Amino acid sequence: MTLILGRKRGMTQLFADDGAVTGVTVVAAGPCVVCQTKTDEVDGYNAVQLGFEDIRDKVSKKPLRGHYKKAGTATKRFLREERLSAPPQLAVGDTVTVEQFQEGDVVDVVGTSKGRGFAGTIKRHGFHRGPETHGSHNVRQPGSIGCSAYPGRVFKGKRMSGHYGAARHTVKNLRILQVDTERNLLYIKGAVPGPRNGLVQVRTAKTGVKKG
């Protein structure tokens, strides 16, 4: 069980002893409280549910308030669960901190990407731009979107303009370079989805990790 909830606080860089510079994202994670545990017999699957960051009761929804009351914790802003292969070791009310992570651990980070609104095909799908000069009016246009009388329609799934961003995104296999247990900070190598102060989930990498 290695999930923790937190907020992305921004990016900076770290110097290694040999002078090498690494870009890192600082995530202020935890302490989180276990709000519910789920087991195979009762719920059909094993999981642990964590809550992060206290909020005023007034801000939360009434049914959720009941849920937190049942767990005996303060009302939380961010509630997420992690599926487990075995029945959970943690009990309701336990706290989870960054201490469960170590330097060198490989993690996945789940967050909500920055919203781009209604974006064109260049930004949204990485299409190429048309020529800007020589009388061209086809600078950021998508180009042809299909054939003529046969098939006589546009194929489903054709990449076009539309809403882009503000969606759940996972970045896999990022390495933890530093753990600050005093201030509850994780230094994660590379970039993480979302804006500064966006809520993120950090969990042990599910794929791509060499065993042993």
Partner 1 sequence: MDLIDNLEAEVCKRVPPKAHVGDTVDVHYLIREGDKERIQIFSGTVIALKGRGIRRTITVRRIVQGEGVERIFPLHGPRVQEVVIMRRGKVRRARLYYMRDRVGKSTRVTELLGDKVRREREQDTADQAAQEAADAAAAQAAEKTVEANETDTEPVEV
Query: Closest CB to partner 1 among 14 and 209?
Result: 14
- Tell me: does residue 9 bind partner 1 (CB under 8 A): yes
- Tell me: does residue 26 bind partner 1 (CB under 8 A): yes
Query: Per residue, what are the HEC states of the chain?
Result: CCEEEEEEEEEEEEECCCCCEEEEEEEEECCEEEEEEECHHHHCCEEEEEEEEECCHHHCCHHHHHHHHHHCCCCEEEEEEEEECCCCCCCCCCEECHHHCCCCCEEEEEEECCCCEEECHHHHHCCCCCCCCCCCCCCCCCCCCCCECCECCCCCCCCCCEEECCCEEEEEEEEEEEEECCCCEEEEECCCCCCCCCEEEEEECCCCCCCC
Q: Which of these segments, 5-13, 75-83, 85-93, 135-143, binds partner 1 (CB under 8 A)?
A: 5-13
- Tell me: does residue 182 bind partner 1 (CB under 8 A): no
Query: Closest CB to partner 1 among 2 and 181?
Result: 181
What own/partner pairs with CB < 8 Å and gap ≥ 24 does 62-69 have?
67/35, 67/36, 68/35
- Tell me: does residue 14 bind partner 1 (CB under 8 A): yes
- Tell me: does residue 181 bind partner 1 (CB under 8 A): no
Q: Which of these segments, 12-20, 69-77, 151-159, 165-173, binds partner 1 (CB under 8 A)?
A: 12-20
Which of 39, 31, 32 minimizes the C-alpha distance to 83?
39
Query: Closest CB to partner 1 among 13 and 133?
Result: 13
Shortest distance, position 119 Cβ to partner 1, whole Å: 28
**Pattern of binders to partner 1 over 131-170, x per CB under 8 A?**
----------------------------------------
- Tell me: does residue 89 bind partner 1 (CB under 8 A): no
User: In angstroms, what is the C-alpha Rg of the chain?
Assistant: 22
Shortest distance, position 26 Cβ to partner 1, whole Å: 6
- Tell me: does residue 12 bind partner 1 (CB under 8 A): yes
Shortest distance, position 187 Cβ to partner 1, whole Å: 9
Largest CA distance in the chain: 70
Query: Closest CB to partner 1 among 17 and 41?
Result: 17
Contact set with partner 1 (CB under 8 A): 9-15, 17-19, 21, 26, 28, 185
